[in-house]
Structure 1
């Protein structure tokens, strides 16, 4: 196989109310709405397309690991611990359900947050070196 997967282009997130969820992602996370109908909304943020797909209640992107812990399926990255602390503070002020900033025993720090449907996401203070090299410029 000579071709390689190059990036994740789209993530699908189950939501019960497309309209309310799209507004939440736009207003709380700064997503850009590029399309919406009664069954889905397409958002652009964090260098990716996010599809909010109308789903049944109690459906989420979370899963339970072998220890019985609920896990997230998506981690967002920010550029450093100060950026992590700032976005954590902003999320709290915006009344987003967030966990505490954690030291998980690896580089950087993390915290989790939840959307309106209980989809759990992670935020990590360490940007991928490849992303940094390609997309961040020093001024």
Structure 2
């Protein structure tokens, strides 16, 4: 039965203003909208790239953001310096770039204060045989 599970399909992020957050995420990430609930309290994104489906991101409307002490996930990039500069130039709150165990990464915060990460590492490093 384990082989029937193929990937992580969707990561859910709580937001207090779905329209504002949709605009923010679409302005910064290479996403396209692939789902919107009839009540407009969910909006789902996929990366705007050809090829096999990758994990998606879904924003959901909530009255308050649950407190979290850890990042829910990282975005991967091959150029962490350029992404960091781009976000900073667009008014996104970002941390400094840090390095550890062959990785370089930084944190950023969306309009609701959700903490997200951006990481880079040698992709060959991530394959364990």
- Compute the TM-score of the two structures, normalised by the length of structure 2: 0.80
Q: How far, CA to CA, are the matches of 2:24 and 2:2 in structure 1?
A: 41
Once the two structures are superposed, the pairs formed by residues 103-122 of structure 1 within 5 Å of their partners are 103=99, 105-122=100-117
Q: Is 1:54 paired with 2:49? A: no
| CA drift at 1:131 | 8.3
Instruction: Tell me how far 1:77 sits from its aligned partner.
Output: 1.1
CA distance in 1, matches of 2:31, 2:122: 19
Superposed displacement of residue 35, structure 1:
3.0
Which of these residues, 16, 21, 46, is aligned with residue 44 of structure 1? 46
Unaligned runs of 5+ in 1: 65-70, 133-139
- More strand by proportion, 1 or 2? 2
Deviation (angstroms), 1:20? 0.8
List runs of 5+ in structure 2 lacking aligned partners: 49-53
Residues matched between the structures, number? 120
Distance 2:43 2:126 in 1: 26
Q: Which residue number corresponds to residue 129 of structure 1?
A: 124
TM, length-normalised to structure 1: 0.75
